[in-house]
Structure 1
């Protein structure tokens, strides 16, 4: 028996609050879970700063990755098995890509990436293809297998059906994170009938498609995703925490570039400041390490770094107002010098933050980031794009929703012991004068 087909003597089972159980029978999958690179995902939260808004949101990318694997495992071993259009030789490739798709995420993923101009997908490729335990396991299947897995995750593989299982407008990744994030945040928005959706999935050469009889379950999924983005993922309080986190990292980078003498040298960040982080440096960073630095930076002499670190750790977040950059940018330009006059650095304490989402998109050939539409199989065997059959989905198709907020430190404006007239003028411009 080859390593690629080797089974464990006894099936391993993870208890899971979302899927009840995660089943592992393949030796390759079990060995991948045991690698240090995969175990690192236990120390990366799935939802970044969201735990400061929804206190239950402490779940990890490790749990999510197992969940995505379990969904794909059920699809390929139960739903697709024996069906025309499914190549059984792609089974292990699908399972490994599902398990490893988030391998390159860093601490507080998107905020961290934005400051240091990183891409977690780049690091996912680097882990799979580099000198790592994960690479050793995949290479034991076949010397070209790591490259095949990396290509599926990067969406460059010619195995389009396998790619669509992991990354499309309705895929195992999205289905798990919607259900998992809804469970741990305690909201009701993200729930949909995943069992029904999986039962109506069918394999084709290019993508997963869905029987028309399951359209209402797919509609429910689309609307669940829409609600979760605006009620959870773009929650303004979570965004406030993310803004502060970005500003802490931005401040540390600026201090380093200006030869500031840290009381606690940020050795884990040095290669990031220099713009040349190695894979080894990247893998050493997790959220426990970052939070340790936030703790010690409260003792630094730099008042901005000290204040921002305290704010994040103690949840003293910025307040916000609704803000339309197109109509109110003049007001923003008036606020910048006023903040400076009040002794509040606008680079760190006056922040415009934007959130944008496209809940569902129909086919737009040739566009950058082209998205394959969700296809329904009609009773006569024809394919129909989802929004042509569903009035609900048609209503939101191709419509990008964008939200802008302006964040500021209400407590510093409330303290009128200094710069009283300027602070009052700032509050009048922000439209919050009556609140103090």
Structure 2
């Protein structure tokens, strides 16, 4: 059988041609669960800030799988045995690691299901796919859960230097045009190895000493991408606005109201707004099926419907998102006192009344959709997680900070927190002395 019969090629602007074996991997790509990822933008509302960032979770899933192919090929060349079944399982996990993402990616992750993270749903969907495919994904499930007898496979999927991060940094840098996020993925893969080489139960993925600067560059790029893209103040403004819209919908539903204009929104979205769904319920068919019906299209459709409704506040909020009339985000040097917050709420409430959006009696309650206080938080290298190992030329394994420029690594370790306030641009909030200049 010729190679072009055994593989299907996908043309990817980041990695070039991606060869997908016509095995269970191609069958997985054809499933509704994976095809749904085409309808979920990788960067949530990021495309409203970076015009080129229209790429999807599907692009990223293929990219992570492609990098897994390269990683396994390099590790095999260096002497670590990888069986055909392990190869297939690892590719499947890389492909499916984000299959549980919801509409607008991370933006609504904690809005629709209580105590939820997308990994929880990825686990549920991976289990479902395994049952439909007669148990062919058992090894993939073990790798996902980190219960497989060779734990280095899990590290390739979920660690501080995994295929997921390598792809999304390079891909998001490419589509946003933020060059600082470019990482030397191939350099990292070429210097990656398993120690000990046999890849047994005690083996870990490490980077050879000659790749240490590529690791430092990767961590620096990650930090820059978070502050310049993922936590960009206008992205945060879009996130807060979208969450405010859903909160407004829940106000109507919690009041026992079920107006026809609200019900014109997506059935799948309204299911989660109308039910207090907890993460413990995601395995139930009703929750899972509604979740799989929900993507970016449902949210945008709902907003366009609600923009025509009789609630001036909801109409205004939806108009702002659809037409990109965002609220303002200002970073603060410290968290404001409760007295300062109360003063801000009063100012926003007064503005809502002056604009004719709400009656005085409802202004304070409506102000919470327009005024939010939050904290952006990130670390490039979390020393509380599994650390990155460096394998010296003498065969000695050490943690990254022991071998790298300790000043650089220490600067990248630990969380940086930036409090921020989001509010309407026409409102002149008194931010002194908490404004972060």
Q: State if a TM-score over 0.5 links the two structures.
A: yes
Shifted more, 190-199 versus 64-73: the winner is: 190-199
Give secondary structure in 1 for the equivalent of 2:107.
helix
2:200 matched to 1:186? no
2:155 matched to 1:164? yes
Please give the alpha-carbon distance, in whole angstroms, between the structure 2 residues aligned to 1:201 and 1:286: 36
Please give the alpha-carbon distance, in whole angstroms, between the structure 1 residues aligned to 2:141 and 2:82: 19
2:42 matched to 1:53? no
What's the counterpart of residue 395 of structure 1?
Answer: 410
Shifted more, 117-126 versus 64-73: the winner is: 117-126
What's the counterpart of residue 200 of structure 1?
Answer: 191
Please give the alpha-carbon distance, in whole angstroms, between the structure 2 residues aligned to 1:373 and 1:293: 43
What's the counterpart of residue 74 of structure 2?
Answer: 79
State the 1:379 CA deviation. Answer: 0.8
What's the counterpart of residue 307 of structure 1?
Answer: 316
In the TM superposition, 1:29-108 aligns within 5 A as 29-76=25-72, 78-81=73-76, 83-88=78-83, 89-108=85-104
1:379-434 CA-partner distances (Å, limit 9, x unpaired) = 110011111111154232432111111111123x3xxxxxxxxxxxxx252369xx
Question: Unpaired runs of 5+ in structure 2?
Answer: 196-201, 278-285, 354-362
Give secondary structure in 1 for the equivalent of 2:387.
coil
In the TM superposition, 1:255-294 aligns within 5 A as 255-260=252-257, 261-265=259-263, 266=265, 267-272=267-272, 273-276=274-277, 278-294=287-303
Q: 2:120 aligns with which of 119, 122, 136?
A: 122
Q: 1:177 aligns with which of 148, 165, 168?
A: 168
Please give the alpha-carbon distance, in whole angstroms, between the structure 2 residues aligned to 1:154 and 1:324: 40
Please give the alpha-carbon distance, in whole angstroms, between the structure 2 residues aligned to 1:39 and 1:149: 19
Please give the alpha-carbon distance, in whole angstroms, between the structure 2 residues aligned to 1:220 and 1:86: 29
Q: 1:358 aligns with which of 374, 379, 402?
A: 379
2:332 matched to 1:336? no
CA RMSD of aligned residues (A): 2.3
2:15 matched to 1:19? yes
CA 1:196–1:280 in 2, change beyond 3 Å: closer, same or farther?
Answer: same
What's the counterpart of residue 410 of structure 1?
Answer: 425
Give yes or no for contact 1:375–1:384 (8 Å, CA) kept in 2. Answer: yes
State the 1:154 CA deviation. Answer: 4.1
1:109-137 CA-partner distances (Å, limit 9, x unpaired) = 2222221223211211221212x5x6423
Please give the alpha-carbon distance, in whole angstroms, between the structure 2 residues aligned to 1:164 and 1:385: 15
Please give the alpha-carbon distance, in whole angstroms, between the structure 1 residues aligned to 2:370 and 2:154: 42
What's the counterpart of residue 330 of structure 2?
Answer: 321
Give secondary structure in 2 for the equivalent of 1:403.
strand
What's the counterpart of residue 417 of structure 1?
Answer: none
Give secondary structure in 1 for the equivalent of 2:132.
helix
Give yes or no for contact 1:360–1:396 (8 Å, CA) kept in 2. Answer: no
Please give the alpha-carbon distance, in whole angstroms, between the structure 1 residues aligned to 2:142 and 2:108: 25
CA 1:157–1:333 in 2, change beyond 3 Å: closer, same or farther?
Answer: farther
State the 1:329 CA deviation. Answer: 4.6
TM-score, normalised with respect to structure 1: 0.86
What's the counterpart of residue 253 of structure 1?
Answer: 250
Please give the alpha-carbon distance, in whole angstroms, between the structure 1 residues aligned to 2:149 and 2:105: 28
Shifted more, 61-70 versus 185-194: the winner is: 185-194
What's the counterpart of residue 384 of structure 1?
Answer: 398
1:73-126 CA-partner distances (Å, limit 9, x unpaired) = 1111x2111544444252221111001101010101222222122321121122
1:171-207 CA-partner distances (Å, limit 9, x unpaired) = 1100000000000001111112211111111013442
